[in-house]
A and B are shown apart, each in its own frame.
Chain A
Amino acid sequence: MATDRLVERRRVFQQYKEDVKERGKPFFPYAMWHDTIMSLVVVVTIIALAIVWKYTTPGNHHTTAPGWLGKLYDAPADPGTINFVPRPDWYFYFLFYLLRIFKWPETVVLGTIGIPTICLVLLLAMPFIDVRAERRLLRRPVALVAAFLVVVSMGVLTYKGATAKEALGSELLAHVPKWAKTEGFANNPKATAGAKLFAVSGCLNCHSYNGDGGHNLGAPDLTGEGSKNRGIQFQIAHLKCPACVHPGSPMPSFAGLGQQRLEELATFLESSKGKKK
């Protein structure tokens, strides 16, 4: 069978070459003409996007206010604060949202590495999975359905990623007094300072705390972190290098905050004894 298929494939390709020789047309000027027009459209589109990006940005150009296509640039990088949701460029939104589907720690690796790797391997292997010579779409129902599902799921994930909302640091900051009251660290200024840091440093993009924040990348709830009595030194060491304490932890290092702020944050975590009933 396999040899039959090979013979048939070769025959069809030979036929293709003869057909093209006989009835084809030269690349130049016919195909090249179409290619040139399309390329011009591409270049004009790119220039138009650049112009819209700049000229819809309000005010003078030293601003970080967004225009129709977003900001020209954000505030300078600061490892100490994050009062917005870290987001990749829009064409990674589908991956970005995929992570949010997997909330349980054991499954996170599926969303981050598992599914993307499987997709890449499937793509690479495609010509060896689909070995039939048939090219007409209606006679390739599996391929047609697969293509449809891929387009729809990538579209949905991109849309969900684009519209996903997390609370901003400034909004979370307003919750600090509530946290202090329910968790009982209102009289500890160091813990309160740490709570403010906690609100603006993006911790709640992944962790949940006292009813705020998200459950992403398998990050644990920190409402009652202090009741585990792990100690301030442990908290600082963990914040400096999460993966050193919990191998494989996806949490980034917060060593950039500096010793003083790390101590505040650790005090806050150790003072969070859980919601009082």
Chain B
Amino acid sequence: MATRTRLTRSQQLQQTILYPLDWLEERSGIVGGVKYFLFRKVPGDINWFQTLGSATLTAFLVQALTGSILAMYYKPDAKDAYSSIQNITNHVFAGWLVRGMHRWGASVFIILMFMHMGRVFLFGAYKYPRELNWIIGVLLLAMGLGEGFTGYLLPWDQTAYWATVVGININGTAPFLGPFIAQFLQGGTYINADTLSRFYAIHMLMIPGAIFALIGLHLYLVVRLGVTSPPWSKEAAGTGPLAGPAQNGRARVGMTRPAPRRTGR
């Protein structure tokens, strides 16, 4: 628009609505960032298996949310832990649901981590330039298993107690560092009331904080480096323009059918 004209009502409305977004964009660039995230291109042949990563993220967010709610009622103290779990399960409104979701969400989270890792492995998606993201993923897997181990003690029932006794002793058998690790986990020379609050702090603060940070890095690298095509795809990104049948001289047999690829890899 070359000259200043009176804005129509709909334009005025639009400006009013967009004003906060413009304000935010001008000061943070966040709107552009979200737009880039949403409208970035992904290969056209991506597969259902490639939803496992976001499914894992969803399971983690379920854990974070239900865990925060549980923390409002749970008492990390050897005297009260067990009765607070009973209270959550039997008296708190929908407490059984939140606890059940946290308890079984953990299993789902861990299964999904392994499946996501299996997918990345079978797709060869850890190869250049995505090596670093694979390493971050392995660290996330270790952290996830650590959450499983520390969370298991918190109900402070017989299963929890004795499984943790054995678990800590296993850590204790490690050469050199073992005894120190065991001592650190227990908060003493044997498992006691301090162990519970220690596990609670590790389970609630230390590991989740690390997981959040690592997931942030993981996603940043996914967006920066892009998603891989399924390796068997005949139009896999990274193989150049699609070759027509006529100049398909170097066609190779792919996973399922002859792949019209132009360049070898």
Contact = CB atoms under 8 A, between A and B. Distances in A.
B128 A137 contact: no
B152 A89 contact: yes
Nearest to A95: B170
Contacts of A54: 96-97, 100
A113 B174 contact: yes
Interface in B94-141: 96-97, 99-101, 103-108, 110-112, 118, 121-131, 134-135, 138, 141
A201 to B, nearest CB: 10
A2 interface: no
A252 interface: yes
Contact of A13 (B128, B135, B159): B128
A265 to B, nearest CB: 16
Given A61-B90, A147-B122, A13 B238 contact: yes
B170 A99 contact: yes
21 contacts: A12-B265, A15-B237, A23-B44, A23-B235, A31-B42, A31-B227, A34-B51, A35-B54, A43-B62, A46-B104, A50-B97, A50-B100, A73-B82, A92-B148, A113-B174, A131-B128, A135-B123, A136-B254, A140-B124, A252-B168, A252-B190
Interface string A30-63: 1110110111011101110111011000000110
B118 A136 contact: no
B55 A241 contact: no
Given A27-B42, A74-B158, A92-B145, 20 more contacts: A13-B129, A15-B237, A15-B240, A19-B237, A20-B237, A22-B241, A23-B43, A23-B235, A27-B38, A34-B48, A43-B58, A46-B101, A72-B89, A91-B110, A91-B145, A109-B173, A113-B174, A126-B126, A135-B124, A135-B231
A37 B82 CA distance: 37
Interface residues of A, number: 90
Given A46-B101, A127-B134, A253 B44 contact: no
A24 B232 contact: no
Contacts, number: 276
Contact of B127 (A109, A130, A250): A130
Given A16-B237, A24-B41, A28-B39, A243 B118 contact: no
Contacts of A151: 118
Contact of A20 (B41, B55, B168, B173): B41
Interface in A70-107: 71-79, 82, 84, 86-92, 99
Contacts of B86: 62, 73
B143 interface: no
Contact of A91 (B50, B107, B125, B190): B107
A128 B126 CA distance: 10
Contacts of A89: 106-107, 148, 152, 163
Given A9-B128, A38-B52, A113-B174, A46 B105 contact: yes
Contacts of A27: 37-42
Closest 7 CB pairs of A and B: A50-B100, A135-B124, A24-B41, A86-B162, A16-B238, A127-B131, A253-B190
Interface residues of B, number: 100
B160 A74 contact: yes
A137 B189 CA distance: 50
B215 to A, nearest CB: 15
Contacts of A138: 255
A181 B52 CA distance: 60
